[in-house]
């Protein structure tokens, strides 16, 4: 992942202004240098500045930015991976002279050929700014789901500022906001417009039957195309379904790729956790099965607590679930980068697309189930995409997420949601459609008990004491009196518990602007649900803890797996809610039996 910064239409063209833009781009704090430690570049034309901090993954020796066309009348800075760049290069081989090996250079001939109507032709993730000196116009765009971060703001002189992170804007913009995923911003017609318009966006319930081989093929293609790299890489492996499938498909097809010619067919896998955590054990088992070179990183609760302020600085959020999950990932990313690895594949996005979170068990019907998956995917850029990108780019490590491939999303979201729903009578647990698609008897991708392992939230999977330790620590840092006055202190998105209050204090110190606090989503949540899904179960409305452990069908590592699905995908159907210490259990059909399970 790279970092970009553009200032467009500045009234000041002076050397001092150029130095300021360079400072915002290159400086370590606040700046974007951590995102791209390999090279810095800056273009200026009058009051227009385009800067980039590069993390070199593809063509490290020839892909420095900014990028130009032959007569240098079109300029681009980009943070992206364009997986179909070779196909596009062939298309324009006779019309365009390519001067670098950068995959992002194909943006230029596409623009020359199609104007601004080319973004949907890009297969990949990206955030870019293009300046056309001939017309003195510019455009910016962000990928479909928002895998790559982007912010937009206004300076006091009316200049438009666009940046990969808001820390490069917060001192120079009077107002800034998230650049929405799937959108273009153009100076020609002005304003934002959506370029990503899939059928599922309307949230109408699809009717396409489940086709396991179609789903499998789409995912395998998504993984294979993300093996485009000229640097050493690996996979993040928690031992859960999503990361295990990413690792399995990578291992199976690595030998077919150019990456194997450069780095061999050995695959490195990485996991982080507290001593004895569920993820460490499960990841080791999968790694042994696949034959990866496995790296296991341990951290303590104190290590995590000590890193919280840095995590909030890099993540630019005060969302509790995001910070909980980001901290172990942040610590692991530093270790991975120290080993010389610059890119990893990860499993984000599956739970949103397929209804994998345990609270989906309580969806009242397929219509509500599908609408919730749509809401979750649309919000990914503020949660898991933000976490995966920023917690790793803090150390100059790139994460690629095959589940959020455009074509795989189309397949997953066009499926009749009835197939995705939890149904113990039919032997279907969460993400059954993915499990069944990769349940190959002749050439197994994974052992049965791994293939049908129940979902762990990342922050819980690294060790249950991590969440408990955070709660105990923040309980000591925030007084009852402070909580009583929380609404007065923080009237916008008021913290509802001491952990949230503690994170908010740090965030406000780092990012005191009103615009900054407004970029963070807020609202009640159970096990990563949206606020709308809280309405599914009455007792959920009383809870102030978003942990996945609130759903009592969740199995601890020490349990006897009484509620765990077996190799045939069977589950016993018992799903309970622990709602803020109340004595109510809600089973899968929504009936309350009036007792708390231990």
- Render pLDDT for 525-536 as a digit per residue (tens, 0 to 9): 887 889 999 999
Rounded-to-integer distance, Cα 398 and Cα 409, Å: 21
With a CB cutoff of 8 Å and minimum separation 6, the contacts of 503 are 308, 312, 318, 320, 323, 495
H or E stretch at 289? helix 278-290
Question: Looking at the DSSP assignment, which residues form a beta bridge with residue 236?
Answer: 270
Give the pLDDT of residue 581: 31
State the average pLDDT over residues 283-288: 96
Q: Which two tokens stand for residue 110?
A: 């596409």
Burial of 523 (0-12, 13-18, 19+ CB in 10 A): exposed
Q: Which two tokens stand for residue 573?
A: 């159907």
Between 57 and 552, the more confident residue is 57
pLDDT range class, residue 545, cuts 50, 70, 90: low
Q: Are 217 and 398 in contact (CB under 8 A)?
A: no
Give the pLDDT of residue 11: 83
Burial of 551 (0-12, 13-18, 19+ CB in 10 A): buried
Give the pLDDT of residue 48: 94
Res. 68: pLDDT tops 60: yes
Res. 203: pLDDT tops 60: yes
182 is in an annotated binding site: no
Length of the chain: 598
State the average pLDDT over residues 347-368: 96
pLDDT range class, residue 139, cuts 50, 70, 90: very high
Rounded-to-integer distance, Cα 341 and Cα 587, Å: 45
Helical packing angle, 498-510 and 320-338, nearest 10° = 60
Helix (H, G, I), strand (E, B) or coil at 268: strand
- Is there a cis peptide before residue 529, judged by omega within 30 degrees of 0? no
Give the pLDDT of residue 491: 96
At 413-470, the pLDDT tens digits run 999 999 999 999 999 999 999 999 999 999 999 999 899 877 655 456 676 789 999 9
Q: Which two tokens stand for residue 338?
A: 């120290």
The CATH number that domain 200-455+464-540 falls under is 3.40.50.620
Say if strands 137-142 and 183-186 run parallel, antiparallel, or are unpaired. Answer: antiparallel
pLDDT range class, residue 56, cuts 50, 70, 90: confident
Q: How far apart are the first and last CA of the chain?
A: 44
What is the percent of the chain with per-residue pLDDT over 90, rounded to a whole number?
Answer: 73
pLDDT range class, residue 63, cuts 50, 70, 90: confident
Give the pLDDT of residue 212: 98
Lowest pLDDT segment from 377-391, 443-457, 523-537, 544-558:
544-558
Please report how many Cα atoms fall inside a 13 Å half-sphere around the Cα of residue 386, on the Cβ side. 31
Q: How far is CA 138 from the centre of its chain?
A: 27
What is the percent of the chain with per-residue pLDDT over 70, rounded to a whole number?
Answer: 88
- Per-residue burial over 326-335, b if 16 or more Cβ lie within 10 Å, else e, is bbbbbbbbeb
Q: Are 188 and 25 in contact (CB under 8 A)?
A: no
The CATH number that domain 3-197 falls under is 3.60.20.10
Q: Are 562 and 572 in contact (CB under 8 A)?
A: yes
Give the pLDDT of residue 546: 61
Rounded-to-integer distance, Cα 21 and Cα 66, Å: 14
Helical packing angle, 301-315 and 320-338, nearest 10° = 100
Give the pLDDT of residue 355: 96
Res. 591: pLDDT tops 80: no
Between 587 and 518, the more confident residue is 518
User: DSSP for 236-256?
Assistant: E--SSHHHHHHHHHHHHHGGG
Mean pLDDT of the chain: 88
Helix ranges (H only) for 125-180 are none
State the average pLDDT over residues 316-333: 96
**φ, ψ dihedrals at 411, nearest 5°:** -65, -50
Q: Which two tokens stand for residue 24?
A: 């915002």
Lowest pLDDT segment from 257-261, 265-269, 504-508, 552-556:
552-556
State the average pLDDT over residues 463-478: 92
Q: Which two tokens stand for residue 329?
A: 């990932």
State the average pLDDT over residues 135-151: 97
Closest to 357 in 3D by CA, of 454, 279, 246, 461: 454
State the average pLDDT over residues 386-401: 96
Rounded-to-integer distance, Cα 430 and Cα 556, Å: 17
- Is there a cis peptide before residue 104, judged by omega within 30 degrees of 0? no
Write out the catalytic residue numbers.
2
401 is in an annotated binding site: no
Eight-state DSSP code of residue 60 = T
581 is in an annotated binding site: no
Res. 277: pLDDT tops 70: yes
State the average pLDDT over residues 496-504: 97
Q: Which two tokens stand for residue 241?
A: 């379904």
State the average pLDDT over residues 166-182: 95
272 is in an annotated binding site: yes
Give the pLDDT of residue 471: 95
Q: Are 243 and 276 in contact (CB under 8 A)?
A: no
State the average pLDDT over residues 207-235: 97
State the average pLDDT over residues 101-109: 95
Eight-state DSSP code of residue 556 = P
Question: Looking at the DSSP assignment, which residues form a beta bridge with residue 8?
Answer: 160
380 is in an annotated binding site: no
- Going from N- to C-terminal start, the domains of the chain cover 3-197, 200-455+464-540
Q: Which two tokens stand for residue 8?
A: 């467009």
Res. 300: pLDDT tops 60: yes
Give the pLDDT of residue 549: 57
With a CB cutoff of 8 Å and minimum separation 6, the contacts of 93 are none
Lowest pLDDT segment from 36-40, 423-427, 491-495:
36-40
Eight-state DSSP code of residue 141 = E
Give the pLDDT of residue 26: 59
- CB count, 10 Å around CB of 263? 17
Say if strands 293-298 and 268-273 run parallel, antiparallel, or are unpaired. Answer: parallel
Helix ranges (H only) for 119-194 are none
Helix ranges (H only) for 379-497 are 384-393, 406-413, 432-437, 448-451, 458-461, 464-477, 480-484, 486-489
Res. 208: pLDDT tops 50: yes
């Amino acid at each position: 992942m790279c970092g970009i910064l553009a200032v467009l239409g500045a009234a000041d063209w002076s050397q001092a202004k150029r130095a300021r833009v360079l400072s915002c781009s290159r400086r370590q704090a606040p700046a974007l240098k951590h995102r791209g430690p390999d090279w810095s570049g800056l273009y200026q034309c009058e009051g227009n500045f385009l800067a980039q901090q590069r993390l070199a993954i593809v063509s490290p020796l020839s892909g420095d930015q900014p990028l130009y066309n032959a007569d240098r009348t079109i300029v681009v800075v980009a943070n992206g991976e364009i997986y179909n760049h070779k196909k596009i290069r062939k298309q324009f081989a006779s019309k365009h002279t390519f001067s670098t090996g950068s995959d992002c250079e194909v943006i230029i001939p596409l623009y020359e050929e199609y104007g601004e109507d080319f973004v949907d032709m890009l297969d990949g993730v990206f955030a870019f700014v293009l300046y056309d000196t001939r017309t003195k116009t510019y455009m910016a765009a962000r990928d479909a789901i928002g895998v790559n971060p982007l912010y937009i703001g206004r300076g006091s002189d009316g200049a438009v500022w666009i940046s990969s992170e808001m820390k490069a804007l917060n001192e120079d913009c009077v107002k800034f906001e998230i650049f929405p995923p799937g959108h273009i911003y153009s100076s020609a017609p002005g304003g934002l417009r959506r370029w990503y318009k899939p059928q599922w966006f309307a949230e109408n319930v699809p009717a396409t039957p489940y086709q396991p081989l179609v789903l499998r093929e789409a995912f395998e293609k998504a993984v294979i195309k993300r093996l485009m790299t000229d640097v050493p890489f690996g996979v993040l492996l928690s031992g859960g379904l999503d990361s295990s499938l990413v690792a399995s498909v990578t291992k199976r097809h690595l030998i077919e790729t150019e990456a194997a010619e450069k780095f061999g067919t050995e695959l490195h896998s990485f996991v982080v956790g507290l001593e004895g955590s569920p993820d460490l054990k499960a990841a080791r088992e999968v790694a042994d099965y696949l034959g990866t070179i496995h790296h296991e990183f341990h951290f303590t609760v104190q290590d995590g607590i000590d890193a919280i302020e840095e995590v909030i600085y890099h993540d630019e959020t005060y969302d509790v679930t995001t910070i909980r999950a980001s901290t172990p990932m942040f610590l692991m990313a530093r270790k991975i980068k120290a080993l010389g690895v610059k890119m990893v594949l990860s499993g984000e996005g599956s739970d949103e697309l397929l209804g994998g979170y345990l609270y989906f068990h309580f969806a009242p019907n397929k219509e509500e189930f599908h609408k919730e998956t749509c809401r979750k995917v649309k919000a990914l850029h503020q949660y898991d995409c933000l976490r995966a990108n920023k917690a790793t780019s803090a150390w100059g490590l790139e994460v690629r997420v095959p589940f959020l491939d455009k074509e795989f999303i189309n397949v997953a979201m066009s499926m009749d949601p009835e197939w995705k729903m939890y149904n113990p009578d039919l032997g279907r647990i969460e993400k059954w459609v993915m499990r069944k698609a990769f349940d190959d008897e002749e050439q197994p991708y994974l052992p049965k008990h791994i293939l049908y392992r129940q979902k762990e939230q990342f922050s819980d999977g690294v060790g249950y004491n991590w969440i408990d330790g955070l709660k105990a620590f923040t309980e000591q840092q925030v007084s009852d009196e402070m909580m009583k006055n929380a609404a007065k202190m923080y009237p916008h998105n008021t913290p509802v518990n001491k952990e949230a209050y503690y994170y908010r204090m740090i965030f406000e110190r780092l990012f005191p602007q009103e615009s900054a606090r407004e970029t963070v989503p807020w609202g009640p949540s159970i096990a990563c649900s949206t606020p709308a899904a809280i309405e599914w179960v009455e007792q959920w409305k009383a809870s102030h803890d978003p942990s996945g452990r609130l759903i009592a069908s969740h199995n601890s590592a020490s349990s006897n797996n009484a509620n765990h699905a077996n190799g045939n995908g069977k589950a016993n159907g018992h799903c309970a809610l622990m709602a803020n210490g109340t004595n109510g259990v809600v089973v899968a059909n929504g009936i309350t039996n009036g007792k708390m399970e231990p």
